[in-house]
Amino acid sequence: MYKTDLDRQPLKKNIKPWGESQMHSWRLYEKNKNKPGYIKHGNFINSLKKHKVTTSRLVDWDIPAIVGNGSTFGVQPQMNTSRPKISHIHEMNFYCDDTGDTNKTNRYIIEQTGDKDLSKDLKKALYDFLKPMGWEKLRFSRFQQHAGEMTASHVDVHRQMSNLHNSLEVPILSGEVRIGVMFISDWAYGQGFGMGESIAQGWKTGDFYEWPWFFPHHTFNNSNVERNSITVVGRKRV
């Protein structure tokens, strides 16, 4: 979204060591924090319908909790003196974790629903919507946030994207990383998705928001209903 001095640096170089990566992100954010935290790219509900991906297929299964404050937690300079509270999130790749094959549905989802084609069908819908914008190499996961839960501010390292596209011939560059959220449930009062200095609210099912790869972001759900979304990470060549 915003040009930086690291755009043409291989992503693999930027993510190691982790502490240096976080400092880079904070430095870039400080230079751009007065800019909008996101761009809204429209609504992909028609792409879902085209490929027969209903919202019930996307949300009618629960995700086990995992520790949310991992190595990507925290970007504030005060972090060297603070100790974050450990929290848990509910996030899972739609595709097969074992092989990384996005045409194969995650085994856990198949066991819960019997839907073997979910990842393949969702992939078609996502490419239908995002390919015209230049996105490729998509990875996608579902984020389920129960009422009363939150995700602390953090910057993603994008280690998975680096591992997938680290060939010496065409390594993925930091400025090529694209990340966004597609909401698969309507907004409810008390919910919010913070990106930089901006907080998205009032969304409808299918709305898609993109934020810069180096921007901190956070979420909260102070409503009485769960929030569901799809996190999409991809590559757009520069």
Least confident of 44-48, 51-55, 152-156, 171-175: 152-156
159 pLDDT band, cuts 50/70/90, is: confident
74 pLDDT band, cuts 50/70/90, is: very low
Which domains occur in the chain, in start order?
A: 11-78+85-235 (2.60.120.10)
Residue 215 phi, psi dihedral angles, 5° rounding: -85, 140
The CA distance from 45 to 40, in Å, is 14
Residue carrying structure tokens 């509270």 = 85
72 pLDDT band, cuts 50/70/90, is: very low
Tell me, what's the pLDDT at 199?
A: 98
Residue 33 has pLDDT above 60, yes or no: yes
> Does residue 116 or residue 71 have the better pLDDT?
116
When pLDDT is averaged across residues 203-217 and rounded to a whole number, the result is: 95
**From its phi and psi, is residue 148 left (phi > 0), alpha (psi between -120 and 50) or beta?**
left
The CA distance from 157 to 22, in Å, is 8
When pLDDT is averaged across residues 174-184 and rounded to a whole number, the result is: 96
Tell me, what's the pLDDT at 76?
A: 56
138 pLDDT band, cuts 50/70/90, is: very high
